């Protein structure tokens, strides 16, 4: 393999830059030419491709977002659209591709692989919703952004004796809600993986209030519904003053944590190693702190598993 391309696709995540840097430097280390493809699959179709040098990825390891930018591209879901991308790869002589993104991006990578272009997927999303990896790039940074916000909300919540409902991201996965809820000692955590008993949440709130608690924090994963709806229902059921904060896209930004930078560096380099070994159609990941790789389709056919023991623990600790 003499020429490798790298792109970021779908939702961005802090740490994607560290992954790009790792792919670029690892290629150059092995005397492989490396090409950055801007704006994901859209840029591939448009030929928005540039040769990267060592210095192209200098001073980005600490930056959020992605220096290659990202896009969603409906055209790439069609065989005609993908053919345009393949034409560009042929034009530049690119023999393999590293795709940094989520499950949608991995499907595109799988289809390109089936069309004869070896691709490796690197899981980059704050949602931590990719099967067969314990962590995705960006998750840890998002957790730290959320707990920083909750700590601040807690200060004002205590001053005013209020119930705070905080809606966090995660798409259909409850990982961000569960981890931040546990990290911040939330009274209740509502996640899509568990059918919550609303009465139980209300009971806990009332019990806490009677015990003299000055504030309560309820974390709602976006996958279970609107934080505003839950806030209204809680206020109606408890008569406690309730405020709602939707943290939104602040969770997608910021300088990546040390954990995400290291994870991204390891996974990006591993993707290049796999391409060098002639592997294709695989995703890289980390399980029990070991680097692993799995067939993309096999991985996506699995369901991402949230740690239900952690959920149980959160309940036990917020009695």
Residue ranges binding ligand ADP (CB under 6 A):
9-11, 41, 72-73, 76-77, 101-105, 107-108, 111, 125
Rounded distance, CA 269 to CA 287, Å?
Answer: 16
Rounded distance, CA 33 to CA 4, Å?
Answer: 6
Answer for the pair 146, 180: CB distance below 8 angstroms, yes or no: yes
Please choose, from the candidates 309, 308, 266, the residue with its C-alpha nearest in 3D space to the C-alpha of residue 287: 266
Residue showing the smallest CB distance to ligand ADP in the complex: 104
Q: Is 185 flagged in the annotation as binding?
A: yes
Nearest distance in Å: CB 119, ligand ADP? 11
Nearest distance in Å: CB 270, ligand ADP? 19
Q: Of the listed 31, 87, 127, 134, which one is catalytic?
A: 127
- Give the Å distances, CA to CA, from 313 to 35, 147, 173, 199, 271: 46, 18, 18, 19, 35
Q: Which residues pair with 166 in a beta bridge?
A: 219, 245
Q: Which is nearer to ligand ADP, 9 or 265 (CB)?
A: 9
Q: Which is nearer to ligand ADP, 234 or 280 (CB)?
A: 280
Answer for the pair 97, 82: CB distance below 8 angstroms, yes or no: no
Q: Is 26 in a helix, a strand, or coil?
A: helix
Q: Is 233 flagged in the annotation as binding?
A: no
Nearest distance in Å: CB 81, ligand ADP? 8
Nearest distance in Å: CB 192, ligand ADP? 17
Q: Is 287 flagged in the annotation as binding?
A: no
Residues whose CB is less than 8 angstroms from the CB of residue 135 and which lie 6 or more positions away in sequence, other chains included: 128, 259, 263, 286
Q: Which is nearer to ligand ADP, 88 or 125 (CB)?
A: 125
Q: Is 141 flagged in the annotation as binding?
A: no
Rounded distance, CA 48 to CA 161, Å?
Answer: 54
295 catalytically annotated: no
Q: Is 298 in a helix, a strand, or coil?
A: helix
Please choose, from the candidates 207, 199, 165, 162, the residue with its C-alpha nearest in 3D space to the C-alpha of residue 318: 207
Nearest distance in Å: CB 197, ligand ADP? 32
Q: Which is nearer to ligand ADP, 137 or 224 (CB)?
A: 137
Rounded distance, CA 5 to CA 36, Å?
Answer: 6
Q: Which is nearer to ligand ADP, 10 or 96 (CB)?
A: 10
Question: Which positions are catalytic?
Answer: 127
- Binding-site residues from annotation for Mg(2+): 103
Binding residues: 11, 21-25, 72-73, 102-105, 125-127, 154, 162, 169-171, 185-187, 211, 213-215, 222, 243, 249-252
Annotated binding site for ATP: which residue ranges? 11, 72-73, 102-105
């Amino acid at each position: 393999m003499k020429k490798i391309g790298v792109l970021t696709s779908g939702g961005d995540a802090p740490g994607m830059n560290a992954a790009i840097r790792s792919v670029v430097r690892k290629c150059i280390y092995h005397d492989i030419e490396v090409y950055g493809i801007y704006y994901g699959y859209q840029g591939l179709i448009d030929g928005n491709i540039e040769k990267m040098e060592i210095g192209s990825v200098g001073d980005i390891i600490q930056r959020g977002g992605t220096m290659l930018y990202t896009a969603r591209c409906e055209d790439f879901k069609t065989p005609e659209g993908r053919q345009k991308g393949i034409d560009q790869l042929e034009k530049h002589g690119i023999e393999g591709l590293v795709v940094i993104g989520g499950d949608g991006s991995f499907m595109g990578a799988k289809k390109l692989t089936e069309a004869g272009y070896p691709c490796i997927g690197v899981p980059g999303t704050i949602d931590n919703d990719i099967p067969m990896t314990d962590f995705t790039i960006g998750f840890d940074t998002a957790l730290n952004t959320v707990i920083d916000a909750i700590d601040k909300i807690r200060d004002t919540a205590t001053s005013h004796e209020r119930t705070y409902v905080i809606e966090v991201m995660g798409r259909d996965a409850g990982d961000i809600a569960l981890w931040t809820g546990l990290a911040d000692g939330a009274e209740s955590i509502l996640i899509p993986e568990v059918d919550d008993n609303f009465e139980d949440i209300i009971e806990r709130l009332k019990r806490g209030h009677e015990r003299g608690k000055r504030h309560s924090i309820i974390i709602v994963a976006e996958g279970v519904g609107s934080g505003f709806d839950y806030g209204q229902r809680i206020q109606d059921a408890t008569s406690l003053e309730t405020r709602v904060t939707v943290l939104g896209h602040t969770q997608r930004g910021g300088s990546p944590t040390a954990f995400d930078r290291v994870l991204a560096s390891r996974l990006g380099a591993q993707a290049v190693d796999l391409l060098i070994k002639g592997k294709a159609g695989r995703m890289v990941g980390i399980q029990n702190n070991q680097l692993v790789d799995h067939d993309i389709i096999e991985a996506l056919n699995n369901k991402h598993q949230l740690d239900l023991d952690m959920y149980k623990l959160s309940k036990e600790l917020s009695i």
